[in-house]
């Protein structure tokens, strides 16, 4: 059975929702859940390599991205988390003030996504967009959110953060 992009997205959201329903609803339900993962970890440095261009899905995923550095287990580590996001590919269209080509529902989701990014920037997250991707996808660099730093090649940024010891999380 072949599904279009919206059907796939709706199915992913449905299963994500079901997963949340199955979580225990008690305070501190997650206390100690990262004991193995964070054993001997002094701090978390992570670079998110983002290209997905679906605004609804990005809003769901970026809720989880923010949770990484806001999580009490991560905040209790000796070193403050360092988080960077590099955007390239179709997602760059969601960073622009130009809403042409998007329907009303998408515009609302883009507005929510950009509001999340503004909050992340205030919280100390580094945000970068690949200028090469802007050119290829015909996005005017002057329309990109001012909170996002423009870099010539986003792959160089991702590689540079990785060379500095950041873990790379790819969000295709």
In residues, how long is the chain?
172
In a domain, 24, yes or no: no
pTM: 0.81
The answer to whether residue 12 is domain-embedded is: no
Closest to 62 in 3D by CA, of 23, 109, 5: 109
| Residue 56 located in a structural domain | yes
The per-residue pLDDT for range 47-97, each reduced to its tens digit, is 999 999 999 999 999 999 999 999 999 999 999 999 999 999 999 999 999
Does residue 30 lie within any of the structural domains? Answer: no
- Predicted confidence (pLDDT) at residue 27 exceeds the cutoff of 60: no
The number of folded domains in the chain is 1
| Predicted pLDDT at 32 | 72
Which tops the pLDDT comparison, 172 or 156? Answer: 156
CATH for 118 = 3.40.1260.10
pLDDT reported for residue 29: 41
Residue 95: the pLDDT is: 98
The whole-angstrom separation of Cα 105 and Cα 56 is 9
Q: Cα angle at 121 between 156 and 74, to 5 degrees? A: 85
Contact 110, 102 (CB under 8 A): yes
Q: Is residue 163 part of a domain?
A: yes
* Per-residue pLDDT reduced to its tens digit, 13-25: 554 444 544 444 4
Q: Residue 138 falls within a domain, yes or no?
A: yes
Give dist(CA 9, CA 5) in Å, integer. 6
pLDDT for res 18: 46
Range of the domain at 94: 42-171
Q: What confidence score (pLDDT) does residue 46 get?
A: 97
Q: Judge contact between 9 and 105, C-beta under 8 A.
A: no
Give yes or no for residue 5 having a pLDDT over 90.
no
Residue 146: predicted pLDDT: 98
């Amino acid at each position: 059975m072949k599904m279009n992009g919206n059907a796939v997205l709706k199915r992913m959201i449905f299963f994500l929702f079901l997963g949340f329903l199955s979580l225990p609803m008690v305070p501190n339900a997650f206390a100690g859940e990262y004991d193995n993962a964070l054993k001997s970890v002094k701090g978390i440095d992570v670079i998110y390599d983002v290209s997905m261009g679906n605004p609804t899905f990005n809003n769901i995923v970026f809720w989880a991205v923010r949770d990484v550095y806001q999580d009490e287990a991560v905040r209790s580590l000796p070193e403050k988390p360092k988080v960077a996001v590099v955007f390239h590919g179709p997602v760059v269209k969601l960073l622009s003030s130009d809403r042409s080509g998007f329907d009303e529902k998408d515009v609302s989701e883009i507005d929510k996504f950009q509001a999340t990014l503004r909050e992340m920037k205030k919280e100390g997250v580094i945000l970068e967009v690949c200028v090469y991707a802007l050119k290829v996808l015909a996005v005017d660099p002057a329309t990109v959110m001012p909170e996002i730093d423009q870099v010539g090649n986003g792959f160089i940024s991702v590689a540079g953060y990785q060379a500095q010891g950041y873990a790379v999380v790819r969000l295709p």
